[in-house]
Amino acid sequence: MSFPAQLLSEKIKGEVRFNEPMSKHTSWHIGGMADIFVMPKDIADLREALSYAKRSELPVSIIGNGTNLLVSDFGIRGMVIKIGPGLCQIEVRGERIRAGAGVPLPRLAAVALRSSLSGFEFLAGIPGTVGGALVMNAGANGCAVGERVRQVTAVDLEGKEVQLNNQELEFSYRYSCLAGRKLVVAEVEFEGIPGVPEAIKAKMDSYLERRRKTQPLEFPNAGSVFKNPPGNSAGKLIEQSGCKGMREGNIQVSMCHANFFVNLGGGTAEQVLTLVEKVQQCVFEKFGCKLLMEVQKLGEF
Ligand SMILES: Cc1cc2nc3c(=O)[nH]c(=O)nc-3n(C[C@H](O)[C@H](O)[C@H](O)COP(=O)(O)OP(=O)(O)OC[C@H]3O[C@@H](n4cnc5c(N)ncnc54)[C@H](O)[C@@H]3O)c2cc1C
């Protein structure tokens, strides 16, 4: 495949790589090569990369920290744009926090704590970025990130800036309209709730402690593989179907948390998907419930 590589590298201030192993950019450590891999340095760079891809008719995939992604063993054709350290500015004004889409969620939670703002404690243990969290409407402990969002600056696939307010984002359980509308999150304005730092810190610490006790954080994983069915817990259904410890190659249903699949070393996307199907089958046979994947598939499957 031939791309005018020189031209792209000249236009982008951030990094441009070719044949980049995606296993370096996913928390599962799984994924083949991306043809072109771009890390924009700022919003202007992001817009430049998107309009370049449009002009060159390259398919575009967006990633944040890769903590909710299953990337194909055959990799990703076209351009992958990683929204990371280049879009990492964060600013607090009163009860409002403006954060770049690349800001890690634990940093957002820490900044809110320093600013005596409550409502972000549950994000301290979620290893994604602000952009990924908005697309997934990430949540835990009865909270979801969408509740704190006021305004989003996004960029469409032609490189044009778009502003959306909370209602326009259509947040619901692990959903926002961003993916369907093919919008790239660039910056987000959040609103916190004035709080007492000691109370905010205590809540954060208790959430983190619970994660350490209940999640297999010593192995590469992608958090919950399946969404919780309405009124139920996917982890419980998987456990009660006898799937804990089930294994396909080097991918295993965690013994510690049944909705986490861990990579014991060298596991593949194909193994993950085979295990997904086996677990779905077991849960369906036992409870008549079809579990749906929360983890997003990216690349050639
Ligand atoms: C140990 C562990 C614990 C976890 N705990 C939780 C939890 O408690 N609750 C929860 O909800 N999730 C949890 N997750 C899953 C994951 O961290 C969240 O879904 C997170 O919000 C994903 O962010 P990310 O930056 O890694 O996104 P990625 O995984 O890189 O991408 C996820 C999706 O968002 C899109 N995307 C990413 N950035 C952008 C952007 N800037 N603009 C447009 N699209 C974008 C991608 O195309 C993809 O569709 C956990 C994961 C792990 C590994």
- Domain spans, the chain: 5-82, 87-213, 217-298
Q: Which atom belonging to ligand 1 lies closest to the Cα atom of 62?
A: 47
Ligand 1, atom 12: nearest CA belongs to which residue? 138
User: If we measure between CA atoms, which residue out of 41, 9, 36 comes closest to residue 20?
Assistant: 36
Ligand 1, atom 43: nearest CA belongs to which residue? 184
Verify whether residue 114 is a known catalytic residue.
Answer: no
Tell me the C-alpha distance between 120 and 114, whole Å. Answer: 12
Verify whether residue 294 is a known catalytic residue.
Answer: yes
Tell me the C-alpha distance between 140 and 261, whole Å. Answer: 18
Question: How far, in Å, is the centroid of ligand 1 from the Cα of 186?
Answer: 15
The residue annotated as part of the active site, out of 23, 224, 241, 254, is 224
Is 1.10.8.60 the CATH classification of the domain at 5-82?
no
Distance (Å) of CA 141 to CA 132, 211, 273: 18, 11, 28
Q: What is the pLDDT of residue 147?
A: 98
- Count CB-CB contacts under 10 A for residue 175: 17
Q: What is the pLDDT of residue 1?
A: 46
Tell me the C-alpha distance between 75 and 56, whole Å. Answer: 20
Q: Domain 87-213 maps to which CATH number in 3.30.565.10, 3.40.50.620, 3.40.640.10, 3.30.465.10?
A: 3.30.465.10
Question: How far, in Å, is the centroid of ligand 1 from the Cα of 1?
Answer: 30
Determine how β-strand 296-298 pairs with β-strand 69-71.
Answer: parallel
Q: What is the pLDDT of residue 5?
A: 64
Q: What is the pLDDT of residue 174?
A: 96
Question: Over its length of 301 residues, how does the chain's per-residue pLDDT go in tens digits?
Answer: 445 667 888 999 999 999 999 999 999 999 999 999 999 999 999 999 999 999 999 999 999 999 999 999 999 999 999 999 999 999 999 999 999 999 999 999 999 999 999 999 999 999 999 999 999 999 999 999 999 999 999 999 998 999 999 999 999 999 999 989 999 999 999 999 999 999 999 999 999 999 999 999 999 999 999 999 999 999 999 999 999 999 999 999 999 999 999 999 999 999 999 999 999 999 999 999 999 999 999 999 9
The residue annotated as part of the active site, out of 17, 174, 211, 247, is 174
Question: How far, in Å, is the centroid of ligand 1 from the Cα of 61?
Answer: 14
Verify whether residue 9 is a known catalytic residue.
Answer: no
User: Top-level CATH class of 217-298?
Assistant: alpha beta
Ligand 1: lining residues by beta carbon, under 6 Å = 27, 62-69, 83, 101, 126-129, 131-133, 135-136, 138-140, 178-179, 184-185, 215, 217, 221-223, 296
Question: How far, in Å, is the centroid of ligand 1 from the Cα of 6?
Answer: 32
